[in-house]
């Protein structure tokens, strides 16, 4: 019987007063610690035109992180397929897999990862949109299979390499597609919780075994802000709360330092909206985190959790992931549910 793996989702946050260089150095340090603490994967997310997120060139940052670690899997959570030609993505990840064999994951999403104006700037004349996502995904997968003599276009490197492809989503669209294609599925419940249970049910009920996966494998996103006390964790959480309020107001910025209270910093409507969006957030001491994890794992039957933590202070961010690893290791298989025979992608 195996325990459920925990992984890291890093947005490479640029803190107020810092630069992207600082964000990258902090990300590598976190990845090296996460590797020692037994996390399964370290994923980076593609966002554009966001002053507080440094991972726009996602494949480049993946290479930096993979080059500074030795065993942890590194990948995208995700690369936004509508923004680039499938061949370009295949070449990028074929290069990564060639440099770091057996350690690269390719998570792909359908959203633009930005506002519509930025999306138009990214796509230029590619003519790609969310409407062609299934066809683009099939094309992307085709570049990784062994080539045939009459195949006109090859991903070099890329063809013949085993690079796990994941579908990411926040609704039922990618859940249905992942089930149809027999791919592992990751749901962005850490910021878009509404369709989580419906999407998981659709994915599991409709899953068709494939050469990639013989049974459903679902990863669930969660925010975790762990500290020695509930009060300190709640204070750390205010950085993310402020960042999302600013985003909702159309004024995205760098990750702000925490504050003692959010009183006066948001309206009642903004507070209600944010609390709804962030309801898959575990904030507190190790005991509080343990109770929340036990409930979440029981409700979702997740095969894996991927954890985001937009914490301003780097030492506090490291401490949060360290405490979470300790809680993870203290959970029994019964706490996490019976997982006999569940293979990892």
Structure tokens at 342: 């569940």
Report pTM: 0.93
Q: What is the DSSP letter of 255?
A: B
Contact status, residue 342 vs residue 215, Cβ threshold 8 Å:
yes
The predicted structure's pLDDT at residue 323: 98
Q: What is the pLDDT, as a whole number, of residue 342?
A: 56
CATH superfamily of the domain spanning 6-336: Luciferase-like domain (3.20.20.30)
Q: Return the pLDDT at 333.
A: 53
Q: Strands 304-308 and 165-169: what pairing? A: unpaired
Residue 164 and residue 220: Cα distance in Å, rounded?
17
Given a cut of 70, the residues of the chain with pLDDT beneath it are 1-2, 112-116, 119, 123-130, 332-343
Residue 105: φ, ψ to 5°: -115, 145
The per-residue pLDDT for 131 is 75
pLDDT score at 128 = 47
pLDDT, tens digit, 9 for 90 and up, residues 56-110: 999 999 999 999 999 999 999 989 998 889 999 999 999 999 999 999 999 999 8
Whole-angstrom distance, CA of residue 97 vs CA of residue 25: 22
What pLDDT was estimated at residue 232? 98
Q: In whole angstroms, what separates CA 104 from the centre of its chain?
A: 14
The four Cα atoms 226, 185, 83, 224 give a dihedral, to 10 degrees, of 0
The pLDDT, as a whole number, for residue 123 is 66
Q: Where are the domains of the chain?
A: 6-336
d(CA 185, CA 166): 6
Could you give the C-alpha distances from 168 to 99, 172, 196, 277, in angstroms and in order? 25, 10, 12, 17
pLDDT score at 150: 75
What does the pLDDT look like over 2-41, one tens digit per residue? 689 999 999 999 999 999 999 999 999 999 999 999 999 9
Could you give phi then psi for residue 222, rounded to 5 degrees?
-150, 140
């Amino acid at each position: 019987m195996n325990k459920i793996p925990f992984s890291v989702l890093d947005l490479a946050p640029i803190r107020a007063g810092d630069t992207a260089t600082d964000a990258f150095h902090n990300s590598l340090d976190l990845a090296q610690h996460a590797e020692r603490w037994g996390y399964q994967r370290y994923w980076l997310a593609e966002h554009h035109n966001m002053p507080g997120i440094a991972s726009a060139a996602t494949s480049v940052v993946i290479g930096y992180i993979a080059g500074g670690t030795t065993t942890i899997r590194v990948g995208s959570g995700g690369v936004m397929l509508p923004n680039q030609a499938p061949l370009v993505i295949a070449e990028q990840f074929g290069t990564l897999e060639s440099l770091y064999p057996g350690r690269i994951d390719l998570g792909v999403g359908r959203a633009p990862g930005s506002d519509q104006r930025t999306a138009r700037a990214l796509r230029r004349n590619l003519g790609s949109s969310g409407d062609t996502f299934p066809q683009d995904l099939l094309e992307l997968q085709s570049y990784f299979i062994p080539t045939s003599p009459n195949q006109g276009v090859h991903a070099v490197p890329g063809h013949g390499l085993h690079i796990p492809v994941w579908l990411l989503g926040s609704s039922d669209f990618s859940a249905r597609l992942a089930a149809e294609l027999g791919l592992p599925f990751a749901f962005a419940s850490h910021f878009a919780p509404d369709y989580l249970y419906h999407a998981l049910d659709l994915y599991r009920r409709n899953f068709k075994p494939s050469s990639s996966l013989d049974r459903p494998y679902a990863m669930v996103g969660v925010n975790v802000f762990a500290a020695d006390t509930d009060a300190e964790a709640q204070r750390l959480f205010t950085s993310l709360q402020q960042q999302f309020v600013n985003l909702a107001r159309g004024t995205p910025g760098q990750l702000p330092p925490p504050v003692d209270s959010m009183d006066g910093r948001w309206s009642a409507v903004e507070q209600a909206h944010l609390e709804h969006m962030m309801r898959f957030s575990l904030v507190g001491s190790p005991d509080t985190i343990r109770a929340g994890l036990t409930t979440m794992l029981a409700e979702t039957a997740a095969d894996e959790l991927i954890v985001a933590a937009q914490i301003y202070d780097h030492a506090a961010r490291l401490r949060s992931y360290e405490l979470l690893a300790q809680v993870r290791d203290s959970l029994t298989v019964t706490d996490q549910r019976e997982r006999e025979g569940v293979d990892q992608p």
